[in-house]
Amino acid sequence: MHTVEIDGENLDIQKFIQVARYGEKVKISEQARENILNSRHTIEKIISGEELAYGIKTGFGELCQVSIPLEDIRKLQENLVRSHACAVGKPLDREIVRGTMLLRANTFAKGYSGVRLELVELLVEMLNRDITPVVHEQGSVGASGDLAPLAMLAIALIGEGDVDYHGKRMCARDALALEGLKPLKLEAKEGLALINGTSLMTAIAGIVWYDTWILFKNAMIACMMSLEALKGTNQAYRPEISKVRKHPGQAYCAQTFMRMLQNSQILESHKNCKKVQDAYTLRCAPQVMGAVKDTLDIVKNTIEIEMNSVTDNPLILPNGKSLSCGNFHGEPVALAMDYLGIALTVLGNFSERRIARLVDGHLSGLPPFLTEHSGLNSGYMIAQYVSASLASENKVLAHPASADTIPTSANQEDHVSMGTTAARKCMQICMNVRNIVAIEMLCASQGLDFHKPLKPGVGVLRAWEFIRKHVPHLDEDRVLYPEIENVAGMIKNGEIIEAVEKEIGEF
């Protein structure tokens, strides 16, 4: 297992996933250590000076005009994290909280937050020793950052609240003690630095982007499986077509589709048929799925910028100044997550329409509902209902959270991003689309079975064979939900992609 070194500059989604999901160890770079120490030295000078500094010598939000005596500065930070630790709802998945901890540490590594090195080291030690704070999912409006959820993370550092320790829920103080770690006593600025930022929404964004990228590649495979099952043509994917429109995603998809369809006996078998055009969900696949690919590229750039940004307030500058700012506002992530959620919804709609075509004997040329004995058997009839239900649910979830705002803190915070809501919605849409694509793969595999002994293109063949190793042909009705879950799991884990890429190369 490798170690991911954080320096505030070079974190990307791949490294982030290795830590958040797969448990890779983390270390702080030497430059980051120096940055953190210098920033803390600046805080000490501010404390001893005469000038008021927001959140260091004052209250918070609408109470920013209230001066805090020096003897109460530590108490101020403890009160802050305790009072703000009021998120509600279900506990977030462990990988989301781990990702949030990593992003908070990476922000501090840049040296503009004024926290002590001990604080960042404790965050990293908790990651490395599998001590994960229990953080509830609801309560952030995404403006002064993810205040309520991040405060639930912060209280674990002071030994309060609950954590997940190697899969067991316990008091944070007890888990720290088991690892020989001591809870922090927060110093000036540290409580504010811990809770004031976009780390939660960005962590969800990083995870959902990664899962969407894997899902997107699976959706491309599913689309070509359906094309072969429906006896479509590959002529709409010719390079001359993409050359005159210039969108990179379209060209990428068309080229990848052609690679998947190489040496198809099914395509060859109906080369001279009388059908002039395929339906849009086949013919326009490069244009529609290419637009999703371009969206993924744009959103990835936004997320990786945010991962390496300082998003707390105030900023502690090398010149000894504390500068109040709005870097905590989550609008860049909110808009990106809404954009990705819409793109995912399109991907799900596109897949569901192919499922509907596959089960409709009038359109597909295949047995009704993909079963040899329809009437006695319903085949994949209700699986299509499920995909339709998920696609319609996504249309509700795709309403942009960033279009909403609600004032907080007695109107001091009069515009908020709803970035965490956007990210959470996007994650649900991703899960829904994964199930839709799983259903498409099952239906397309059944359709391909009816074309034997003809074989599809090399990429499609590998996907079909892989699915058939785990899910048999549907001869007569059986319970389908375990098979949908099974294929959805293979989609998430990238197993089907791996099988296809062994044949056609990485795409």
Which residues are catalytic, by number? 54
Q: Is 438 left (phi over 0), alpha (psi -120 to 50) or beta?
A: alpha
Radius of gyration of the chain (CA): 26
User: Which are the contacts of 126, defined by CB distance < 8 A and separation ≥ 6?
Assistant: 101, 132, 133, 156, 157, 163, 176, 181
Instruction: Compute how many other C-beta atoms are within 10 angstroms of the C-beta atom of residue 288.
Output: 20
Query: Closest by alpha carbon to 187, among 100, 125, 114, 127?
Result: 114
**CA separation, residue 389 to residues 216, 220, 343, 435, 441 (Å):** 20, 21, 18, 11, 17
d(CA 190, CA 80): 10
290-320 exposure pattern, b = at least 16 Cβ within 10 A, e = fewer: bbbbbbbeebbebbbebbbbbbbbbbbeeee
d(CA 354, CA 429): 19
SS3 408: strand
User: Which are the contacts of 86, defined by CB distance < 8 A and separation ≥ 6?
Assistant: 139, 148, 151
The gap between the terminal CA atoms of the chain, to the nearest Å, is 26
Structure tokens at 354: 């192919």
Tell me the HSE value of 140 on the side-chain side, using a 13 A CA sphere: 36
d(CA 203, CA 17): 9
d(CA 390, CA 396): 10
d(CA 57, CA 61): 13
199-229 vs 94-109: helix axis angle to the nearest 10? 130
Query: Closest by alpha carbon to 200, among 310, 341, 302, 102?
Result: 102
Query: Closest by alpha carbon to 224, among 213, 241, 236, 211?
Result: 236
d(CA 187, CA 119): 10
d(CA 35, CA 447): 60
